[in-house]
């Protein structure tokens, strides 16, 4: 099977991340999947953003949602403490980061998951939806985000084409038990595999592939520095595809393709597309 091309937050190296213009560009590049991140606003709307806290790296305040809003400015505050109306005032169209040669789209907004699904549902792609929680969250709040996210995806008839992703593996156990029709991708990185980790739903970090199998994951998605030929072989022996992230150079793309990974998550799906075409 050919390696799948997964656009990271759309195409983060090329267009503003987690925005509708970014997704349009990723679709134009012919990605197999679009990875995006979701959180829940204070008034219960599923919105797209990578961080739980609004970051000045890619977001800019413009004006308060209402006159003399005491919560303004909003950048630097948590998504779940802000309403959709407040989040809508944010300009998400420009990233200030030297690593990316991103074309800005001034005025691009933080979209809702509903808006993203309206755009993406007609396209013949997979959605990789990462739920942004952490081990400090109570299960009730995890369930709120999970159930709201699933409701939007089901409304758009996207269950069979969506994978739910999480570093906080409690999300995956709740999804397994309550929403088994969705794929469940076990994300992990060096910081979530430390001794006494709380990220892996109570499982030890010594063998993450086996741990992912234990919680019923349908794929593993390791950080690129953790991805080795032995890990790929182990995962495949357990029936788990390997989705490596985030890979941005042709040399690394070639290396992981030779390892036999099933998908590569990249900020530059144009680079991966050209490499896979050769």
Using one digit for the tens of pLDDT, what is the confidence trace for 216-271?
A: 999 999 999 999 999 999 999 999 999 999 999 999 999 999 999 999 999 999 99
Helix 269-277 and helix 250-259: axis angle, to 10°?
60
Asked whether the beta carbons of 179 and 158 are under 8 A apart, the reply is: no
Q: Is residue 7 helix, strand or coil?
A: strand
Given this model, what pLDDT does residue 122 score?
Answer: 98
Task: Delimit the domains of the chain by residue range.
Answer: 4-34+113-277
The H or E element containing residue 229 is helix 229-237
- Domain covering 4-34+113-277: architecture: Alpha-Beta Barrel (3.20)
Q: What is the pLDDT of residue 222?
A: 98
CA atoms of 115 and 24, how far apart (whole Å): 12
Give the percent of the chain with pLDDT over 70.
Answer: 99
CB contact at 8 A, 34 and 15: no
Where is 131: in which H helix or E strand? strand 126-131
> For residue 278, what pLDDT is reported?
87
**Rounded mean pLDDT of 4-23?**
97
Strands 162-166, 183-188: pairing is parallel
pLDDT in the model for residue 94: 86
Q: Is the pLDDT of residue 179 over 80?
A: yes
Mean predicted confidence (pLDDT) in 138-158 = 98
Instruction: With a cut of 90, say whether residue 97 has pLDDT above it.
Output: no
Residue-wise pLDDT for 42-83, tens only, equals 999 999 999 999 999 999 999 999 999 999 999 999 999 999
Confidence of residue 101 (pLDDT cuts 50, 70, 90): confident
Give residue-wise pLDDT tens across range 83-92.
999 999 999 9
- Contact yes or no for 22/10 (Cβ under 8 A): yes
Structural tokens at position 274 = 């050209």
Q: In which band, very low, low, confident or very high, does the pLDDT at 154 lie, cut at 50, 70 and 90?
A: very high
pLDDT at 146 over 70: yes
pTM given for the model: 0.97
What pLDDT is recorded for position 98? Answer: 67
């Amino acid at each position: 099977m050919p390696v799948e091309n997964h656009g990271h937050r759309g195409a983060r190296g090329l267009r503003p991340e987690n925005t509708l213009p970014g997704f349009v560009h990723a679709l134009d590049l012919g990605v197999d999947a679009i990875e995006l991140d979701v959180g829940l606003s204070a008034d219960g709307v599923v919105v797209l953003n990578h961080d739980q806290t609004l970051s000045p790296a890619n977001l800019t305040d413009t004006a308060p949602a209402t006159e003399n809003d005491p919560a303004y400015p909003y950048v630097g505050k948590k998504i779940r403490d802000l309403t959709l109306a407040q989040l809508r005032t944010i300009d998400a169209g420009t990233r200030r980061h030297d690593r990316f040669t991103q074309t800005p789209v001034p005025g691009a907004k933080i979209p809702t998951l509903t808006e993203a699904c309206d755009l993406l549902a007609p396209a013949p792609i997979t959605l990789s939806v990462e739920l942004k929680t952490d081990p400090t969250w109570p299960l009730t709040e995890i369930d709120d985000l999970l159930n709201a996210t699933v409701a939007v995806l089901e409304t758009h008839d996207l269950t069979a084409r969506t994978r739910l992703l999480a570093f906080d593996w409690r999300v995956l156990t709740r999804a397994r038990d309550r929403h088994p029709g969705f794929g469940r991708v076990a994300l992990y990185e060096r910081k979530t595999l430390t001794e006494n980790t709380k990220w892996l739903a109570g499982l030890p970090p010594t063998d993450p592939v086996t741990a992912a199998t234990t919680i019923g994951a349908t794929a593993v998605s390791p950080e690129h520095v953790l991805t080795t030929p032995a890990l790929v072989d182990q995962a495949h022996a357990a029936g788990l595809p390997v989705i490596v992230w985030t890979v941005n150079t042709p040399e690394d793309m070639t290396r992981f393709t030779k390892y036999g990974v099933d998908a590569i998550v990249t900020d530059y799906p144009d680079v991966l597309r050209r490499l896979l075409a050769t």
